[in-house]
Amino acid sequence: MSEGSGNLVTRLVDRVFPRTQNFFRLIDEQCDLIVEASEAFVEFMRSGDADHALKVRELEHRGDELKARNIDILNRAFSTPMDREDLYRAMVGVDQIANYAKTTVREMELLGVKPDSYTLEMSILLRDGAEALQQGFAKLSSDPADAEPDAQAARKAERNTEKVYRSALAELLDARRYIEHKAPDDPEIEALAKVFEPLGKHGESVAFALTFVVDTIKRREVYRHLSNSADRVAEAGEVLHDIVVKMA
């Protein structure tokens, strides 16, 4: 058989029996990216460094490209190793984790909210959940049943994040703690107090009250966003669990 004939036969065989894409590898690539984005997210919460915030945004953009590529491959695939719907849910669910990391960073920048011990603790839990998903999805191609503990770990990361979220809110709404951590000569307090100078000695108290309310609202928004991010990790863990049940 000539080389030309061989190529023709190969093309005919590929058309009649299309090669199955390695969907396990495709999802693994997405999981690797969300772990990298989660690590950059933790570093931002640890340092507040704008470079880490930029890296989170860049990785989220790459994640969108990976998701779009994978969904296109899925739409054109002749056959898949598992339900198409589960593959689609995995691709979208994993990508949402990077999306929420990016929007949290963006929200903090817009509101002028600096990272604190609670945002750091929640970001670490989110990274732990992303790593659990990475490990779990990587096992599907060889030992799907072994991925169940990883699915549970992802969902546990969400529950632990909720505990931190509630503790953060409890402290956030404590005005006494706010006053303890806010110096009387803080530029924000001084500037706002001037507006209330006609109130005399009460002007500074009013300024304290207003800054407390505004800061509380802004920081609560960030905490809530982190809580919602944990929900996305749990949802991806549920997808992994459903796949394990069907494949094991």
Q: What is the per-residue pLDDT across 144-159, written as a single tens digit (0 to 9) for each? A: 999 999 999 999 999 9
pLDDT digits (tens, 9 = 90+) for 7-62: 654 554 455 445 567 899 999 999 999 999 999 999 999 999 999 999 999 999 99
* Average pLDDT of the residues in 71-89: 91
Give the pLDDT score at 183.
53
Give the pLDDT score at 13.
44
- Does residue 205 carry a pLDDT above 70? no
Q: Give the type of residue at 81.
A: P
The total domain count for the chain is 1
Q: Which residue has the tokens 């500037």?
A: 191
Residue predicted with more confidence, 199 or 78: 78
The answer to whether residue 178 is domain-embedded is yes
Q: What DSSP letter does each residue of 64-103 carry, written as one string?
A: HHHHHHHHHHHHH-S--SS-HHHHHHHHHHHHHHHHHHHH
The answer to whether residue 195 is domain-embedded is yes
* For helices 50-76 and 84-111, angle between their N-to-C axes, nearest 10 degrees: 160
Give the pLDDT score at 169.
87
Closest CA to 157 of 229, 52, 242, 240: 229
The answer to whether residue 69 is domain-embedded is yes
- Does residue 185 carry a pLDDT above 80? no
Give the pLDDT score at 198.
52
Task: Give the Cα separation of 100 and 80 in Å (integer).
Answer: 29
| Residue 199 banded pLDDT, cuts 50, 70, 90 | very low
How many Cα neighbours within 13 Å face the side chain of 22? 7
* Average pLDDT of the residues in 227-245: 96
CATH number of the domain within which 35 lies: 1.20.58.220
**pTM, two decimal places:** 0.81
Mean pLDDT of the chain: 84
pLDDT digits (tens, 9 = 90+) for 164-181: 999 998 888 766 665 555
The answer to whether residue 209 is domain-embedded is yes
The answer to whether residue 1 is domain-embedded is no
Give the pLDDT score at 203.
47
- Taking CA atoms, 202 is separated from 89, 103, 161, 193, 215, in Å, by 56, 39, 39, 9, 20
Task: Give the Cα separation of 212 and 217 in Å (integer).
Answer: 9
- Does residue 210 carry a pLDDT above 70? no
**98 Cα distance to chain centroid:** 4
Counting residues of the chain whose pLDDT is more than 70, the rounded percentage is 76
- Does residue 192 carry a pLDDT above 50? no
3-state secondary structure of 129: helix
Q: Residue 90: give the domain boundaries.
A: 22-247
State the virtual CA torsion across 206, 210, 213, 219 in degrees, nearest 10. Answer: -130
